[in-house]
């Protein structure tokens, strides 16, 4: 944080000198938040912990033993994405009993709130579930996994192999407020100082800057943060000079 503060100070000093204070606009944001440290949350009495992904993989492999699937059936787990070995998930989609066994095995792991399938996320389906919608926005066919793990709130996804200490205290990549809540701090030309609390996204920065520059973006995510912009001052009505020897206007009486 001290280094960031120093870097920003140098940037603003340069811009003030080369461009002129008030002649530029900048925005500070972030790409994600973080999960509160599980051990700290446990001290408050919250349901928190570490979701061990290698254990999820082990449960899935064990669940498929009676269905004669090749081992290993799971190629890897990266973050919340479960990738099966080539051809395995295609077979699971035609094998409801085996797929149900896989889903039940994953849901039995402490810290797992839900498991979504790739076909549930394709084409960004309309849904009232904010978590399902967030996963759908992140889904990319051919690159994303076959199954997706939603951890319970305050549970940290951990891919550390068994027997090794966790190498990090927290992480990110889940659709909860603490992970999605990031700052958006615009400053400079055309920006109205103040605080606003409606939901926005860092994708709103580009169209807002474009509006300040008089540019219309052909296509975009996000919208103009009009509430953060200074309103154009209204033109003042011209003052008519007083005519000489003119009487003052007659007073009007209010209508009761």
User: Is 96's pLDDT higher than 80?
Assistant: yes
Average of per-residue pLDDT across 129-140: 91
In the prediction, which pLDDT does 58 show? 96
Q: Which of 239, 248, 191 is nearest to 28 (CA)?
A: 191
Q: Which of 58-67, 150-159, 184-193, 243-252 has the lowest mean pLDDT?
A: 243-252
User: Is 215's pLDDT higher than 80?
Assistant: yes
d(CA 239, CA 256): 32
User: Is 252's pLDDT higher than 50?
Assistant: no
Q: What confidence tier does 164 reach under pLDDT thresholds 50, 70, 90?
A: confident
The mean predicted confidence, pLDDT, of the chain is 89
User: Is 179's pLDDT higher than 90?
Assistant: yes
SS (H, E, C) the chain: CHHHHHHHHHHHHHHHHHCCCCCCEEEECCCCCCCCCHHHHHHCCCCCEEEEHHHHHHHHHHHCHHHCCCCCCEEEEECCEEEECCCHHHHHHCCHHHHHHHHHHHHCCCCEEEEEEHHHHCCCCCCCCHHHHHHHHHCCCCCCCCEEEEECCCEEEECCCCCCCCCCCCCCCCCCHHHHCCCCEEEECCECCCCCCCCCCHHHHHHHHHHHCCCCCCCCCCCCCHHHECCCCCCCCCCCCCCCCCCCCCCCCCCC
Average of per-residue pLDDT across 101-105: 98
Average of per-residue pLDDT across 242-250: 45
Which tens digits make up the pLDDT trace of 46-89? 999 999 999 999 999 999 999 989 999 999 999 999 999 999 99
User: Is 146's pLDDT higher than 80?
Assistant: yes
In the prediction, which pLDDT does 233 show? 67
In the prediction, which pLDDT does 249 show? 41
Question: What is the reported pTM?
Answer: 0.78
User: Is 153's pLDDT higher than 60?
Assistant: yes
């Amino acid at each position: 944080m001290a280094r960031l503060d120093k870097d920003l100070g140098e940037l603003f000093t340069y811009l003030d000198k080369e461009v002129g204070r008030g002649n530029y606009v900048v925005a500070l944001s972030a790409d994600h938040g973080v999960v509160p440290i599980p051990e700290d949350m446990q001290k408050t009495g919250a349901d928190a912990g570490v979701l061990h992904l290698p254990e999820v993989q082990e449960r899935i492999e064990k669940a498929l033993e009676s269905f004669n699937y090749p081992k290993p059936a799971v190629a890897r787990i990266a973050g919340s994405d479960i990738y099966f070995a080539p051809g395995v998930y295609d077979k699971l989609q035609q094998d409801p009993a085996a797929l149900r066994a896989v889903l039940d095995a994953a849901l039995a792991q402490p810290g797992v709130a839900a498991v979504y399938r790739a076909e549930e996320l394709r084409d960004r389906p309309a849904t009232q579930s904010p978590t399902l919608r967030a996963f759908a926005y992140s889904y990319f066919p051919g690159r994303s996994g076959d199954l997706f793990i939603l951890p319970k709130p305050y549970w940290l996804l951990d891919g550390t192999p068994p027997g090794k200490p966790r190498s990090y205290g927290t992480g990110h990549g889940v659709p909860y407020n603490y992970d999605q809540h990031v700052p958006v701090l615009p400053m400079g030309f055309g920006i109205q100082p103040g605080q606003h609390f409606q939901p926005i996204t860092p994708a709103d920065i580009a169209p807002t800057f474009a509006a300040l520059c008089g540019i219309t973006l052909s296509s975009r995510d996000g919208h103009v943060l009009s509430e953060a912009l200074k309103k154009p001052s209204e033109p003042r009505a011209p003052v008519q000079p007083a005519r000489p020897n003119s009487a003052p206007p007659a007073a009007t009486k209010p209508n009761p």
